[in-house]
Amino acid sequence: MVLSKNRLVVSCPTEEQILIKELVALSTTEQIRKIRALPVSFEEKKHVRLVEKIFLKICHWSVFPLYLNFIQKCNRDVYLCVLLCCLLLLQLIRRFGYSIKSISQSLQLWRGIMKEIGGKFGSSVLNYFVLLKWLLLFNIFSFLVNFGFITIPLLVSDLSPNVSPNVSFRGLELLTGAGYFNYTVMYYGSYSNETFRGLVDYDMQLAYFFTISVYMVLCGLVLIFSMASSFKKNYALADSASNSAWQLLCSWDFSITNEKAVNQRKNNLRIQLKESLSEKAHRERQTTSEQLKQYGIYFGFWLLSTGLAVGCGASIFYLCQYENEVRKSTHCCRNPEAETLLVPFVVSLMNMVIPLFFSLFNKFEHYSSQRRQIYALLFRNVLLRLSILGVLCYYWMNTVPQKFTCWEPVVGQALYRLVIVDFIFLMLGSLFGEFLSNVIGTKIQPRLGVPEFDVARNVLEIIYAQTLAWIGIYFSPLLPVIQILKFFILFYLKKVSLIHNCQPPRRSGRAAQMKTIFIFLLFIPFFVGALSIVAYTAWSLTPSEHCGPFRGLNNTFSVTGEWIDDVNKLSSTQWVVWIYQNVIKSEIFYFLITLIILVIIYIFWQLIQGRKELIVLLRKQIVNVGSNCPPE
């Protein structure tokens, strides 16, 4: 190759190799600077740049010697042609990958609807539908796993449950989950404890235990990684002092495309800025007596909110005892099966009515910041639902096993009823609650305006619904089927109600940070609480003696011990026995794991603190540099 006849001659391949090798080793800026410095014509510089670009596209230093050997045996035109062909091939592969990605995105569930909602109502409302879709996928995965590894093996065997000829389907079972459903594969009690013989032996006990365990572990891992990723992006380096600046400079939601939504968002942003500035000025003007009065108001309403949550929990406990008495004395009512709907009806009614009081309390408290107001409302609603769920789980784990010989299906039926009645109340709230609010705000009292879509309340509703499914997966392996139908219908119902009856929330906060909070609430306390209930059931409670796959065992976890005893008889699997004896059953192992996790958390926390301090120093440095610059 000849770059110039008189000044730079690269007539042999070795000089060209050296030149390209030097260019590849440099950064992009240095490459351009070095090529510009070459004492050759512009066309020859373009040629050098082209060869160097092609080489970077298709070659790496690990294959550089092969490339050198190739160009030593070929002239310039041949290897340049090969390089161009390789570049075209890489472009075709890249375009093919983009096409596959585009097709996969177009096949995503509700992609078009998500874009429509985000364009009209913004990211804060979109977060609700994204979470709803996410939970729907959780339940689809749960159904496929449970049906494939637990239900299908039972159905194809000779031990599948048979419905008694005296039992007929009456329709009420769709609400109560009892009667006809009690003789189907819907509940724990219908599953066998036998090992199915065929091409391979299939142990139903191990299948039931490991399927439920693996699903719960996978859900926990997905939630942990999602929460960590969201926290790193939105909270790790957040600066509370820059809230007003964020509202002014960074709070515009670019996903909004609808003109009406844009004007509404502009008006909401203006109101938020005015409120933020007035609240800050009001705090600065507050005297000590006014602050004490404000704290007294906070304390009074928090005491009232806590009392409401505790009172709801206590009333549910006594209502469960009353239901048990009704079940014992069946002569006291004509339809004892319908009486079982009383508890889920009252629970759903509390979950719908009590949050309205919490919202009313919030208006009287006059929190100094929007974030505190949202967090207070969230915490009160979480406290209410945890109180009710805690009392119900206590009753199921302590009272029901003592009063029923086959108690797991009883708990499964109770959870089924809660899921169904909760779904009915969600539909009524969307069809009538939001619709009536819209009619009142537009026709009867126009000053009220169109109701806002309460993102926090709606998110807590689906989190609560998913918690019921997590608790019930042990007692009713096919409960995710009901949850899939529930979330699928709820998605379209909420979408229609949102478009026709609601407007975006005026005070929505930072959408990304609210998404982090929702994932955190989904994991702690709801998923952790559900996992604790399932683990307590498997570890501490004695299974029913006459039904279910774990009949005859001291506890559910004992199935692993029996499996290890069988494995111990095989000489080739002694390592599994050693891991079980010295790792799984060792308290020291869990202590070390906990210690390592705490150390890792501490290290990452220190890294975050160090980055925050570095950001503060850099900001001070920017201020100092700006103050030292002379005016022009």
User: Which of 106, 132, 164 represents a domain boundary (last residue)?
Assistant: 106
CA 477 to chain centre: 21
Per-residue pLDDT tens for 119-144?
Answer: 778 777 888 999 999 999 999 999 99
Number of residues that this document lists for the chain: 632
Q: Which amino acid is at 144?
A: L
pLDDT of residue 424: 95
pLDDT at residue 245 tops 90: no
**List of E strands, 205-301:** none
Q: Is the residue at 630 inside a domain?
A: no
pLDDT of residue 108: 73
Q: What is the average pLDDT across 333-361?
A: 88
pLDDT at residue 6 tops 90: no
pLDDT of residue 307: 96
Q: Is the residue at 138 inside a domain?
A: yes
Q: Is the residue at 234 inside a domain?
A: yes
User: To which residue do tokens 């060792």 refer?
Assistant: 586
d(CA 52, CA 67): 13
Q: Is the residue at 473 inside a domain?
A: yes
Same domain, 86 and 185: no
Q: Does residue 51 contact residue 35 with C-beta atoms inside 8 Å?
A: no
Highest mean pLDDT among 99-108, 516-525, 577-586 belongs to 516-525
Q: What share of the chain is helix, strand, coil (3-state, %, to 5)?
A: 75, 0, 20
Higher pLDDT: 607 or 103? It is 607
Nearest CA to 153 among 209, 194, 212, 210?
Answer: 194
Higher pLDDT: 446 or 279? It is 446
Higher pLDDT: 511 or 182? It is 182
Tokens encoding 327: 């079940």
Same domain, 46 and 126: no
Domain that holds residue 57: 13-106
Domain count, the chain: 2
- Go through 337-349 and write b for each residue having 16 or more CB atoms within 10 A of its CB, e for each that does not: bebbbebbbbbbe
Higher pLDDT: 270 or 127? It is 127
Q: What is the average pLDDT across 58-64?
A: 47
pLDDT of residue 431: 81
| Torsion sign over Cα 581, 583, 589, 590 | negative
Same domain, 68 and 208: no
d(CA 70, CA 573): 52
Q: What is the average pLDDT across 513-528?
A: 88
User: To which residue do tokens 């990304």 refer?
Assistant: 512
Q: Is the residue at 294 inside a domain?
A: no
pLDDT of residue 391: 96
Q: Does residue 381 contact residue 461 with C-beta atoms inside 8 Å?
A: no
Q: Does residue 305 contact residue 361 with C-beta atoms inside 8 Å?
A: yes
pLDDT band at 355 (very low <50, low <70, confident <90, very high): very high
pLDDT of residue 64: 46
pLDDT band at 5 (very low <50, low <70, confident <90, very high): very low
Same domain, 393 and 527: yes
Q: What is the average pLDDT across 410-424?
A: 96
pLDDT of residue 63: 46
d(CA 159, CA 194): 8
pLDDT band at 62 (very low <50, low <70, confident <90, very high): very low
Per-residue pLDDT tens for 177-235?
Answer: 888 888 889 999 989 888 887 777 888 999 999 999 999 999 999 999 988 888 777 66
pLDDT at residue 285 tops 80: no
Same domain, 441 and 405: yes
Same domain, 139 and 71: no
Same domain, 403 and 485: yes
Same domain, 126 and 84: no
Same domain, 182 and 100: no
pLDDT of residue 201: 81
pLDDT band at 333 (very low <50, low <70, confident <90, very high): low
User: Which of 513, 538, 554 represents a domain boundary (last residue)?
Assistant: 554
Q: Is the residue at 576 inside a domain?
A: no
Q: Is the residue at 485 inside a domain?
A: yes
pLDDT at residue 305 tops 80: yes
Partners of residue 202 on adjacent β-strands: 196
Same domain, 78 and 128: no
pLDDT at residue 546 tops 70: yes
Higher pLDDT: 602 or 258? It is 602
Same domain, 416 and 516: yes
Lowest mean pLDDT among 100-109, 213-222, 421-430, 584-593: 100-109
d(CA 275, CA 597): 43
Same domain, 95 and 134: no
Q: Is the residue at 4 inside a domain?
A: no
In eight-state DSSP terms, residue 631 is P
Lowest mean pLDDT among 132-146, 267-281, 467-481: 267-281
- Go through 448-457 and write b for each residue having 16 or more CB atoms within 10 A of its CB, e for each that does not: eebbbbbbbb
pLDDT of residue 507: 61
Lowest mean pLDDT among 183-192, 477-486, 610-619: 610-619
pLDDT at residue 247 tops 80: no
3-state secondary structure 135-155: HHHHHHHHHHHHHHHHHHHHH
pLDDT band at 45 (very low <50, low <70, confident <90, very high): confident
User: Which of 526, 554, 582 represents a domain boundary (last residue)?
Assistant: 554
pLDDT of residue 508: 57
Higher pLDDT: 62 or 114? It is 114
Structural element, H or E, at residue 195: strand 195-196
pLDDT band at 605 (very low <50, low <70, confident <90, very high): confident
d(CA 132, CA 466): 10
Higher pLDDT: 450 or 255? It is 450
